[in-house]
């Protein structure tokens, strides 16, 4: 049997543990959340860079060529500093995002994050641009290589990028995608007025703001453009006469 001193020691030890365990748990959770936020933020920057490199590589392809892009869908796990305590948040999970391809309306590649602490986001590759979508709104993060002009010669260069392939939705730590330039159509026309139309629909706020900036840029180049909208389209109009060189790239996307 324990004497009074033994009972006192047990009581004191119990009191110490009663204070120590919640304190360790508090600091463990606080550390894990801080580390998880930093790790997820770093992962989001990596995936943005991967999308930008994918976009740039696709624009440099010649007909029949292909490029393999590696997308890091999952972040690194965050270690738990108090391993004998139960995990309160998913700091040790791989935190994999989802990558999906939608072959409708010219095709789009979509990354959806699955973050615990850092704000979730979507990255969308469509029409040759990278869009960033978050709760507060959507923007064209990396503009398309779509429009160039030579005012002195009244030349306009247009490029459209279309994505084709089978629909998919996958998640994992690292995904390889193949992009192949399957078709390239080029044409030259002389027009009195050039109308550049963008279909309305998903992410239209980002595209409208992009066209507003293009409209302003063209005005600075000495043109007198106008930007209008109806139920189905946004239309950027450039008065001429103009010589228009147009290229339409068809990129086939596949996993592996």
- Residue 205 in this model has a pLDDT that exceeds 80: yes
Q: What's the pLDDT at 85?
A: 45
- Residue 15 in this model has a pLDDT that exceeds 60: no
The per-residue pLDDT of the chain, averaged, comes to: 83
Residues 50-66, mean pLDDT to the nearest whole number: 93
Q: What's the pLDDT at 41?
A: 87
Whether the model pTM is above 0.85: no
Cis peptide before 253 (omega within 30 of 0): no
Q: What's the pLDDT at 26?
A: 52
The neighbour count for residue 256, using CB atoms within 10 Å, is 7
- Residue 48 in this model has a pLDDT that exceeds 90: yes
Nearest to 32 by CA among 86, 74, 72, 112: 86
Q: What are phi and psi of 101, to 5 degrees?
A: -120, 130
Six-digit token pair at 180?
């192949």
The residue length of the chain stands at: 256
pLDDT tens sequence across 122-173: 999 999 999 999 988 999 999 998 888 887 788 899 999 999 999 999 887 7
Q: What's the pLDDT at 73?
A: 87
Share of the chain above pLDDT 70, in %: 79
pLDDT tens sequence across 62-102: 999 999 988 888 777 666 555 544 444 444 455 668 999 99
């Amino acid at each position: 049997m324990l004497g009074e001193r033994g009972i006192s020691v047990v009581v004191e030890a119990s009191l110490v543990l009663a204070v120590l365990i919640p304190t360790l748990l508090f600091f463990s959770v606080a550390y894990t959340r801080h580390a998880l936020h930093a790790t997820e933020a770093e992962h989001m920057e990596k995936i943005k860079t991967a999308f930008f490199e994918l976009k740039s590589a696709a624009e440099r392809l010649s007909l029949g060529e292909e490029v393999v892009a590696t997308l890091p869908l999952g972040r690194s796990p965050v270690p738990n500093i108090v391993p004998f305590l139960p995990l309160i948040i998913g700091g040790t999970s791989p935190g994999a995002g989802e990558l999906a391809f939608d072959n409708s309306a010219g095709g789009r590649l979509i990354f959806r994050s699955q973050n615990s602490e850092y704000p979730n986001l979507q990255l969308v590759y469509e029409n040759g641009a990278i869009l960033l979508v978050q709760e507060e709104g959507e923007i064209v993060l990396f503009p398309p290589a779509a429009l160039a002009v030579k005012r002195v010669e009244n030349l306009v260069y247009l490029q459209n990028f279309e994505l084709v392939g089978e629909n998919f939705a996958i998640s994992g730590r690292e995904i390889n995608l193949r992009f192949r330039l399957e078709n390239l159509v080029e044409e030259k026309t002389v027009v009195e007025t050039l109308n550049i139309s963008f279909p309305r629909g998903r992410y239209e706020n980002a595209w409208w703001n992009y066209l507003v900036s293009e409209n302003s840029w063209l005005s600075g180049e000495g043109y007198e453009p106008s930007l209008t909208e109806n139920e189905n389209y946004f239309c950027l109009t450039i008065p001429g006469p103009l010589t228009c060189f147009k290229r339409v790239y068809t990129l086939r996307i596949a996993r592996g």
